[in-house]
């Protein structure tokens, strides 16, 4: 481990020297970004309502809106963002190798990940739900649980995927897919009896295809979503945290609230005026 | 069908951009790769061992690594050497050296198949070695190189789809973006496959046309 760290450090030193702008690199991320005039945001493209390209070809979704809050805080202009398209497994590597300033890509906060990147304060709490085709073999989670090992569930590729499905359906067979559209395709083609994924994505999809699908009527597995920045720059992390805190509780709440309602169909609870409740 | 045409109309610019980038990246890396391959092939065939050895090592190691790994390495590993390439740049780099290594081996094979007496004949009429290469050896080698070159070109176009993993907005990634929005998986992937087929049939046509140029009458 020590040797690896040494190699990494030596590589980084060489990188700093070779790039010839040692001073700029020492000044800190916040200064770098301000000087550059745009924020480089790492996010995905194929997962509405989180991050996707809308019909005009612009980036849209809740993750994108959250990134815009940071850009607005930096430059007073939420369009000064360069999006770097990354797969879920590139979220941490792209931060570590400075390909992006910040990653906002429905990233679940875990202690293991926190050893590799710095997480900001959370902006959403997700849960998992089940979705079946309307008129399909099973109508609810209870029916599927009773059917036991005969049930196949399609799910987005994830380290915790098996464990996650088995919490709700202990005997079900779990098929993992690389993207949400493939997962839904498995459900449509009958390869899977149900799709298990984030409640937000299911709700969004059911809204787009009214009458074609049914909700399994069960939600579980809370997970916290945060943006992440490269480890070791507390100053930049503080800045992003403040921008988010004020979006959740302060002057930017209107922006956050509008976006929340647009993607999830409900309004978030208003912050109470008077004593700052989050400190109680 | 009407629904598909409607979605296709909405997505037309995204698809056009992706197609353009795929063609650009493929063309550029075939060009760079062929140049690298030509130099490597000549070095491997006629170079002395201090030149041959490093080229051999490079060609063999690049050919032994999967393209996907080459692409990921150019994107992530080069950062630790102080070279921070964008997604498009690292894709171009990876595909060029991949193509170069393969072309090097193809060109070496073609050159070695030409009888040594041809070089002697060239010397006899007073040509220098570079001139022997240009006027005697390469034109004869081209006859063997052309069909394999076309094949490598087509392989490279297909390999360019792997750049989608590092976020290069080429045709496959654009298609994935569109499918991510409208969930018309089958239709848009079929269209995407058809477009790749079109690109490759154009390459094949061009290759046939060029092959005729070098054919024995």
Using pLDDT thresholds of 50, 70 and 90, give the confidence band for residue B217: low
Res A6: pLDDT:
46
- Give contacts of B 10-69 with A, CB under 8 A: 10, 13-14
CATH code of A127-222, in short, is 3.40.190.10
CATH architecture of A26-124+224-279: 3-Layer(aba) Sandwich (3.40)
If one compares B201 and A278, the residue with the highest pLDDT of the two is B201
Nearest to B81 among A15, A47, A57 (CB): A15
DSSP SS3 for A137? coil
Beta carbons within 10 angstroms of residue A34's beta carbon: 14
Using pLDDT thresholds of 50, 70 and 90, give the confidence band for residue B73: very high
Nearest to B177 among A17, A45, A208 (CB): A45
The percentage of chain B sitting over the pLDDT mark of 90, rounded to a whole number, equals 79
Using pLDDT thresholds of 50, 70 and 90, give the confidence band for residue A23: very low
Q: Which residues pair with A177 in a beta bridge?
A: A156
Per-residue pLDDT tens over the stretch A244-273: 999 999 999 999 999 998 888 778 999 999
Judge whether A26-124+224-279 and A127-222 match in fold: yes
If one compares A159 and A77, the residue with the highest pLDDT of the two is A77
**Average pLDDT of the residues in B165-172:** 91
Nearest to A57 among B14, B76, B80 (CB): B14
ipTM for this model: 0.72
The ranges assigned to domains in chain A are 26-124+224-279, 127-222
Res A238: pLDDT:
96
Q: For B2-211, give the CATH class.
A: mainly alpha
Do B185 and A86 make contact, defined as CB atoms within 8 angstroms? no
Given a cut of 80, is residue A182 above it in pLDDT?
yes
CA-based nearest residue to A265, from A217, A205, A212: A205
Out of A156-160, B124-128, B156-160, B185-189, least confident range: A156-160
Using pLDDT thresholds of 50, 70 and 90, give the confidence band for residue B214: confident
CB within 8 A of B122, min separation 6: which ones? B131, B132, B135, B136
Q: Which residues of A touch B6 (CB under 8 A)?
A: none
Given a cut of 80, is residue A8 above it in pLDDT?
no
Per-residue pLDDT tens over the stretch B104-129: 999 999 999 999 999 999 999 999 99
Per-residue pLDDT tens over the stretch A118-174: 999 999 999 999 999 998 889 889 999 999 899 999 998 888 889 999 999 999 999
For residue A189, give how far its alpha carbon lies from the nearest alpha carbon of chain B (Å): 11
Do B165 and A87 make contact, defined as CB atoms within 8 angstroms? yes
Residue found under tokens 């403040």: A242
- Angle at alpha carbon of residue B44, lines to B43 and B50, rounded to 5°: 75
For residue B67, give how far its alpha carbon lies from the nearest alpha carbon of chain A (Å): 18
The ranges assigned to domains in chain B are 2-211
Beta carbons within 10 angstroms of residue A45's beta carbon: 26
Q: Chain A within 8 Å of B8 (Cβ-Cβ)?
A: no
Per-residue pLDDT tens over the stretch A202-243: 878 887 788 899 888 888 989 899 999 999 999 999 999 999
Residue spans of alpha helices (H) in B116-184: 117-124, 129-131, 138-159, 171-182
Do B173 and A93 make contact, defined as CB atoms within 8 angstroms? no
Using pLDDT thresholds of 50, 70 and 90, give the confidence band for residue B51: very high
CA-based nearest residue to A70, from A111, A112, A29: A29
Predicted TM-score (pTM) of the model is 0.74
């Amino acid at each position: 481990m020590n040797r690896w760290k040494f190699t990494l450090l030596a590589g980084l030193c060489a990188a700093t020297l070779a790039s010839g702008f040692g001073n700029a690199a020492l000044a800190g991320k916040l200064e770098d970004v301000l000087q550059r005039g745009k924020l480089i945001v790492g996010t995905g493209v194929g997962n509405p309502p989180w991050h996707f390209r809308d019909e005009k070809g612009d980036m849209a979704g809740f993750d994108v809106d959250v990134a815009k809050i940071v850009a607005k805080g930096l430059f007073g202009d939420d369009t000064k963002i360069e999006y770097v398209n990354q797969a879920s497994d590139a979220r941490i590597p792209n931060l570590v190798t400075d390909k992006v300033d910040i990653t906002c890509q429905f990233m679940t906060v875990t202690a293991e990940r926190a050893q590799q990147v710095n997480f900001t304060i959370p902006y959403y709490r997700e849960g998992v739900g089940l979705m079946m085709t309307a008129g399909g073999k099973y109508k609810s989670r209870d029916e599927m649980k009773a059917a036991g090992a005969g049930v196949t569930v399609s799910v987005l590729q994830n380290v915790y995927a098996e464990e996650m499905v088995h919490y709700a359906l202990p005997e079900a067979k779990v098929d993992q897919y690389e993207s949400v559209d493939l997962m839904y395709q498995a459900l449509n083609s009958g390869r899977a009896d149900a799709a298990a994924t984030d409640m937000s994505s299911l709700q969004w999809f059911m809204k787009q295809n009214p009458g074609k699908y049914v909700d399994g009527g069960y939600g579980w597995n809370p997970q916290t979503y945060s943006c992440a920045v490269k480890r070791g720059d507390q100053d930049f992390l503080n800045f992003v945290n403040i921008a988010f805190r004020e979006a959740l509780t302060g002057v930017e709440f209107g922006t956050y609230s509008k976006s929340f309602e647009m993607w999830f169909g409900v309004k978030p609870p208003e912050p109470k005026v008077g004593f700052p409740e989050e400190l109680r | 069908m009407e629904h598909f045409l409607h979605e296709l109309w909405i997505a037309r610019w995204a698809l056009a951009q992706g197609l353009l980038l795929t063609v650009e990246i493929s063309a550029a890396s075939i060009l760079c790769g062929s140049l690298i391959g030509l130099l490597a092939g000549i070095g491997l065939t006629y170079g002395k061992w201090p030149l041959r050895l490093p080229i051999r090592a490079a060609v063999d190691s690049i050919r032994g690594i999967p393209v996907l790994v080459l692409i990921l390495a150019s994107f992530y590993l080069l950062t630790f050497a102080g070279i921070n390439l964008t997604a498009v740049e690292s894709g171009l780099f990876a595909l060029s050296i991949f193509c170069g290594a393969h072309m090097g081996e193809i060109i070496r094979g073609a050159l070695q198949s030409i009888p040594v007496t041809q070089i002697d004949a060239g010397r006899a009429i007073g040509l220098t070695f570079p001139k022997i290469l240009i006027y005697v050896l390469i034109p004869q080698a081209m006859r063997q190189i052309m069909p394999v070159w076309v094949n490598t070109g087509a392989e490279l176009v297909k390999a360019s789809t792997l750049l989608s993993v590092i976020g290069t907005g080429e045709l496959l990634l654009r298609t994935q973006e569109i499918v991510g929005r409208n969930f018309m998986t089958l239709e848009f992937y079929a269209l995407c496959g058809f477009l790749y087929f079109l690109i490759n049939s154009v390459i094949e046509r061009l290759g046939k046309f060029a092959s005729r140029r070098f054919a024995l009458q």
